[in-house]
Structure 1
Amino acid sequence: MELENATLKDKIIRTVVGFFLSILVIGLIITFLPGDAEKSFFDVLSGRSSLNAGKIGDVSIPMDYFQAARRDCFFQYRSIAPSLAEDPATLQSCAFQTIRSLVVTNQIAEATGFSVSEGGIREELSDEARRIYRESVNGAGYSDEDVRKPEAIYRQILNSAPMQYRIDRKNASGLYDSLLNSDLKKTDGEIAVQKESTSARFYLKLVSYTDDQLSKLAEKEAPISDEVLKTKYEAEKKDGKLPKNQEGKEVSFEERKNFLKSKILLENRSKSQEDWKNRLKKLQEEPDGLGKISVLLGVPVQDFRDQSLLNLWELKTGNQIVRLGNNSQFLKDLTSVNFGDKKVGGPYRDSEKNVFVEFASLEINSSKINASQGPDLRDNPNLMNGFVMEISQSLQEKYPIERRVGQRVEE
């Protein structure tokens, strides 16, 4: 009985000691974890986070998926910029950007019906494992016993990255190759539209202005009198806000005058510009609106006759260039307004300029149809590649990055 009690006691002691040793080991593991991993670990325990590195839009990023992207970024930077390969922040940013690109590519692939098979990827990994095995046997002179078998090499390669990440990477490279190398033929409708666009001739009238011009017009219309400036000066003097000159005395009105004028102009600028824009908007709706806008602004109307659709991307007059082809609202109005009704569209923004446009006339001149139709976008690999990349870049803006490792930044 005494031996049995001792045995039970020993079991209890071993259990208690084992429990505390487990806590100690876990504590040491957590202590030596990197800061991001330690934070993620506690977030998971507390229920504040799941086992993912963040989100791209509504798509969660598994931690192993993120680590695979981060590892690819490491090898990329190691070959082109070794110093950046050791920077955790750079690698994390690169990983998130890479994953966002893959998410967007998946959206494009789904829309175009493109996909890759897991079986094909496994077959490629198997071929790579056999190649590594052959090079190991033939190159180093080792015996078969000293070299890992193809099966072991295959398992190591397979486990180095999650299969979904491999599928997405393969999807990305295969998708763009497929799009760029597709033998796309124009439909009869496309050919007809292209012919019509080459024969279309536009007559547009333009009036452009800058915000700075509006400010000067507002100042000219309502000049700031000396009485207003003196009132402002006396108010500052009463409140003890006047600065001192080199002699330690308060600056005089003449010394302060220009500063006060600039200050008032700056304070009134936003309101005065808004007032002028409202006046222009009202004139825009009136008959011969563009002519009235021209008179109010004191700038001439610019005529652009016999312009092709391509020319609208860059209209030149004297030493000025007006680019309207990149303005989505202008292109929309171009397809919907009734030409010849003196309809005034805009103002359309072009860099620092604001442009009002009267859609004077549109003619389809069959004698000016370009029979050759010019080089097709799809016949030019560089243009096609740029077009496809632009689709991807535009879509990426709709997928914000939410980080749960590293710095929390919305991109």
Structure 2
Amino acid sequence: MELENVSLKDKIIRTVVGFFLFILVGGLIITFLPGDAEKSFFDVISGKSNVDAGKIGDYSIPIDYYQAAKRECYFQYRNIAPSLAEDPSTLQSCAFQTIRSLVVTEQIAKATGFSVSETGIREELSDEARRIYRESVNGAGYSDDEVRKPEAIYKQILNSAPMQYRIDRKNASVIYDALLNSDLKRTDGEIAVQKESTSARFRLRIVSYTDDQLSKLAEKEAPISEEILRAKYENEKKEGKLPKNTEGKEISFEERKNFLKSKLLLEIRSKSQEEWKGKLKTIQQEPDGLSKIASLLGANIQELKDQSLLDLWELKSGNQNIRLGSNTQFLKDLTTVAFGSKKVGGPYRESEKNVFVEFASLEINSSKINNSQGSNLKDNPNLMNGFVMEISQALQEKYPIERRIGEKAEE
């Protein structure tokens, strides 16, 4: 075979054409990449990315791990809310929240010595591949040659998500059941603490208020007069900001007055609430602070006597139920603020209320000690489940989300 004689000119033309074809094909590939993948591609090229989707605390999230979580979120939403399954923002948030939950579960697993083996997961995938193969053969009536072999199905399933994601997902699905079914017993020290806690009796004095109450107090303090409204109207008129009526004329003061009043009220409420909260915080530090707070708010002091630890979960004050047992700052103050010193803790947020608490007294009443060791924790799954969920929730607060894909970083 003869070799084709190629001139230098032809070589240059071919090189230039090849270069432009490479640019064209590369541009088309980038154009049809999904949004997240396109951004990640450019970040990698520019050196801005370490080829990860973000971080959960100090843990980097590999792109394939993130995509596996996002894909799982897609199928979840497709079943319960199809419209959300097509919303990129929803899927991104779901993926990062899912991954944070998996990171927390992994920490709980490490602390309790719980682990899931890769071998066990591979066996489950193998069983699933065989099941799919059998259903394909039996259900569709195809011959063995027309159906993919179990090995090919297994490989496809295996490659659909990284192994570490599968391990973490398996951890999350079985660890809580494992903890709930474990044989947990109270130690002698825990039993002693339980006995002492049943005999503790608290006396608390509380004052509660809502943000709406502060707004009304601010309105009384600085009423909006007719003169103020008219001055606002004249200012808008001077600046040419007055809206016009159907005849093309500027609306009158009477027509504009209610709008101006509502606008001023919103401004006053926003500003005054912060000012009032600052006042209350200052008074809180003064001697007999609770009485001064009550006087300033025009509220009554509710005194709660002979309250046990369990009672703190839901305090009954008049017609109100105040739940402070789930407020971590209140529980912390309960152990650190000196009782009987008229020190005031709070305000603790409880639903729509803000609650100030004076820790009046603490007594240990030996006649009320409960000598029962209580039921085995294993016999109280609701209590155990509550403990586990509380641990998970508390840990999640320690793992902020840093996004490098999609929306801005979330703390």
TM bin, normalised by shorter chain, reads 0.7 to 0.9
CA distance in 1, matches of 2:91, 2:174: 25
Distance 1:147 1:6, change over 3 A: same
Q: Which amino acid aligns with 2:121?
A: I
The corresponding residue for 2:186 is: 186
The corresponding residue for 1:317 is: 317
CA distance in 1, matches of 2:92, 2:235: 57
Q: Which amino acid aligns with 2:174?
A: G
The corresponding residue for 1:51 is: 51
1:269 equivalent in alignment to 2:268: no
Partner-residue secondary structure (3-state), 1:205: strand
Out of 210-219 and 45-54, give the one that drifted further. Answer: 210-219
1:186 CA displacement: 1.0
Distance 1:144 1:191, change over 3 A: same
1:13-24 counterparts in 2 under 5 A? 16=15, 18-24=18-24
CA distance in 2, matches of 1:134, 1:392: 40
CA distance in 2, matches of 1:234, 1:20: 68
Distance 1:249 1:214, change over 3 A: closer
* TM-score normalised to structure 1 length: 0.76
Distance 1:81 1:356, change over 3 A: closer
Does the 8 A contact of 2:211 with 2:273 survive in 1?
no
RMSD in angstroms over aligned alpha carbons? 4.4
CA distance in 1, matches of 2:23, 2:329: 64
1:93-172 counterparts in 2 under 5 A? 93-137=93-137, 142-172=142-172
The corresponding residue for 2:283 is: 280
Distance 1:95 1:205, change over 3 A: closer
Does the 8 A contact of 1:329 with 1:348 survive in 2?
yes
CA distance in 1, matches of 2:316, 2:362: 19
1:185 CA displacement: 1.0
Does the 8 A contact of 1:206 with 1:302 survive in 2?
yes
1:127 CA displacement: 2.8
Q: 1:102-153 deviations in whole A, cap 9, x for unaligned?
A: 2222222223232222222222222333344444455555554444433333
The corresponding residue for 2:34 is: 34
Partner-residue secondary structure (3-state), 1:6: coil
Q: Matched residues, percent identical? A: 69
Does the 8 A contact of 2:116 with 2:167 survive in 1?
yes
Does the 8 A contact of 1:207 with 1:294 survive in 2?
yes
Does the 8 A contact of 2:198 with 2:369 survive in 1?
yes
Out of 58-67 and 165-174, give the one that drifted further. Answer: 58-67
The corresponding residue for 2:5 is: 6
Q: Which amino acid aligns with 2:95?
A: A
1:354 CA displacement: 4.4
Out of 120-129 and 368-377, give the one that drifted further. Answer: 368-377
1:235 CA displacement: 10
Partner-residue secondary structure (3-state), 1:370: coil
1:54-65 counterparts in 2 under 5 A? 54-65=54-65
Q: Which consecutive residues of structure 1, in runs of 5 or more, have no partner in the other structure?
A: none
Distance 1:23 1:389, change over 3 A: same
CA distance in 1, matches of 2:231, 2:82: 64
* TM-score normalised to structure 2 length: 0.76
Does the 8 A contact of 1:211 with 1:273 survive in 2?
no
1:187 CA displacement: 0.8
CA distance in 1, matches of 2:214, 2:145: 85
Q: Which amino acid aligns with 1:123?
A: E
Distance 1:373 1:250, change over 3 A: same
1:159 CA displacement: 1.8
- Tell me the matched-pair count: 400
Partner-residue secondary structure (3-state), 1:360: strand
Q: Which consecutive residues of structure 2, in runs of 5 or more, have no partner in the other structure?
A: none
CA distance in 2, matches of 1:384, 1:12: 76
